Amino acid sequence: MHTEETARAVREVLAHVSSISTGVHEQVVGFVLDGTEPPTAFASDAFAGWPGDVAPDARRTVYRTASPEALARLGGVLRDGGAFGRTSADVPAWLMLLVDDMAAVLFPAGLADRPALVRADHEAAVARCTPQFLEQIAHAGGVPHRAATVTTLMALLHREPGPQEPLSRMIENAAGDAYLAQHADVVPRVVKRLDAAGQLAAVACLARHPEPHSGLVVALANSGSVAVRQAARAVVAPSEEPLTAELHATLDRFRAAAAARDIPSGTVDQWLSTARPCVVLSPDGDGPVVGRLGGPVLLPPDAPDPEDHLILTLDLAAFPQGVSSLPLPSDGHLLLLATPELERVLDGGVVYVPAGVAVEERKVELDYEPYAYDSPEDLDAELRGQPELRLERAVSLDAHHPYVGLALGRPGGLERNDAWAGAINDTWPTFVPWQIGGTARDHEGWGDPVLGSAAELDWAVEPADWVLLAQWEGFPMATVYWTIPRQDLAALRFDRVLVQMYANP
């Protein structure tokens, strides 16, 4: 039996079928509601382009009130009418279409601005449409009991290109946690069938409550996919780098800015879990002087002459302990060198000069064409003419984390998503002259330069073991990065530093 409210909503959802004929419309409505004889004359493109903005309130009412059997039949109508959505050999097409439409209707943008009655209706629909309820729909549509759990999880975790945030919210919640825990014995079989994008979705779910799935998370931490491996290892061994109260306040400001733009709190918290302390250097910082740009080049007498341009000298003794995410020495100096020509991979490196070691000034003759300058001498004069750099504590977040691409449907998509970009710009400056440690900022959309270091160099270093040592936004539309394996930095080994420049001149 169905209520009059359900009948009205189904008629409205299927209203445009009446363009075929009134009789067909009534046949389709009767089929969905009561399981009567399906229509014999039904256009195969009746729902082409679905889901869209067709009667969202009525669709939400259908998902809140219709029986599992009626919803299974609605999925069949969407399939036969040519609706387009994700496809998987492990999930009936009608169920995949129904889950896609349910996610789009239950988790739209701008819901906070809707009337209170609509929001209440929405909350009731969300509370009903749990993974367990989806399993009931799958069984009602003919999926055998023994296969319904696997089918349901595949429908929720399978990923294809496009925005995935609504779909993720269907399972990244308390009901999803409980369902995954209840079927912890089945989840590994499901994950094995998923591609890398689906496994990333699974890791994001398992990270919420990993205890029932510890063996699976460990297995995923050794995945052949770099992105899956990175995400799973963050669950197995989460960062213990502390954030100060002031840095937590920065994250709270972002939460408020995101909430004002109706960005889901669960998605925000997933991203904020990547927060890492870092150091920002500028003449206007509120901390001690820690850096000097340009020459003179001061090296021990037995050190070879550098072949690259000295860009920055860091006084490590002036760094407060634990101020960044890096295992920096407690004293001495780091010299950051580069030959900033218009290339992606630059000649350059890092030299460490221990404290107390005698040094002498070197006269270095450089012969190259620096980007945006007439000569190396012009660049050096510009560097030397700038004030000393002061330290300021900051927090960075990983715009290249696998979860970002998963949530927004494209890697590195934060700055190209209006809501996210607005919240970020309300919280952090768009221009940071120097950053030490933390996660890299990529304004050009070329991808994570830290992981790019592992791809560039065929060394036996796990991609997840590379870290950002420094980044410099010192040229027009360009950023220079110094990256290094973390274990090398801890061992004061600097022969595997990679210097890159992302430029869009």
Per DSSP, the residues of 425-479 read HHHS-S--SEEESS----SSS---HHHHHHHHS--S--GGGEEEEEEEEEETTEE
pLDDT of residue 134: 97
Residue 441 and residue 435 in contact, taking contact as beta carbons nearer than 8 Å:
yes
Extract the tokens encoding 52.
């869209």
- Tell me which DSSP letter residue 240 carries: -
CA distance 459 to 392: 34
pLDDT of residue 304: 93
Question: Please, which residues bridge with residue 468 across strands?
Answer: 483
Using DSSP's 3-state secondary structure scheme, residue 265 falls into helix
Extract the tokens encoding 15.
């209203």
Closest CA to 158 of 191, 109, 136, 130: 191
Question: Please, which residues bridge with residue 396 across strands?
Answer: 276
Q: Collect the ranges in the chain with pLDDT lower than 50.
A: 409-412, 416
Q: Where are the alpha helices (DSSP H) in 358-417?
A: 376-384, 402-408
- The dihedral through the CA atoms of 26, 31, 132, 6 has a sign that is positive
Report the run of H or E that residue 28 belongs to, with start and end: helix 22-34
Residues in contact with 337: Cβ distance below 8 Å, sequence separation at least 6, in sequence order = 306, 308, 309, 310, 311, 348, 349, 350, 351, 499
Extract the tokens encoding 128.
């009903």
pLDDT of residue 421: 78
Extract the tokens encoding 94.
């009608």
Neighbour-count burial of 302, counting CB atoms closer than 10 A to its CB (0-12 exposed, 13-18 middle, 19+ buried): exposed
Sorted by where each begins, the domain ranges of the chain are 4-183, 245-503
pLDDT of residue 52: 62
Q: Where are the alpha helices (DSSP H) in 68-225?
A: 68-80, 93-106, 116-128, 131-140, 145-157, 165-169, 174-182, 187-193, 196-206, 214-220
pLDDT of residue 65: 95
CA distance 426 to 474: 23
pLDDT of residue 41: 58
Residue 55 and residue 12 in contact, taking contact as beta carbons nearer than 8 Å:
yes
Which fold is adopted by the domain 245-503?
Hypothetical protein YwqG fold (2.30.320)
**Beta-carbon neighbour count of residue 140 at 10 Å?**
17
Alpha-carbon 76 to chain mean position: 34
Q: In what order do the strands lie in the sheet with 289-293?
A: 345-346, 498-503, 478-485, 466-475, 434-436, 276-282, 389-396, 289-293, 309-315, 333-338, 348-353
pLDDT of residue 71: 97
pLDDT of residue 236: 77
Extract the tokens encoding 457.
């160099």
Q: Per residue in 264-294, pLDDT tens?
A: 776 787 778 778 889 999 999 889 999 999 9
Residues in contact with 340: Cβ distance below 8 Å, sequence separation at least 6, in sequence order = 309, 311, 346, 370, 371, 379, 475, 480, 501
Residue 363 and residue 380 in contact, taking contact as beta carbons nearer than 8 Å:
no
- Tell me which DSSP letter residue 313 carries: E
Residue 314 and residue 290 in contact, taking contact as beta carbons nearer than 8 Å:
yes
Report the predicted TM-score, pTM, of the whole model to 2 decimal places. Answer: 0.69
Residues in contact with 148: Cβ distance below 8 Å, sequence separation at least 6, in sequence order = 135, 138, 139
pLDDT of residue 411: 41
pLDDT of residue 340: 95
pLDDT of residue 45: 59
CA distance 393 to 339: 28
**Beta-carbon neighbour count of residue 225 at 10 Å?**
16
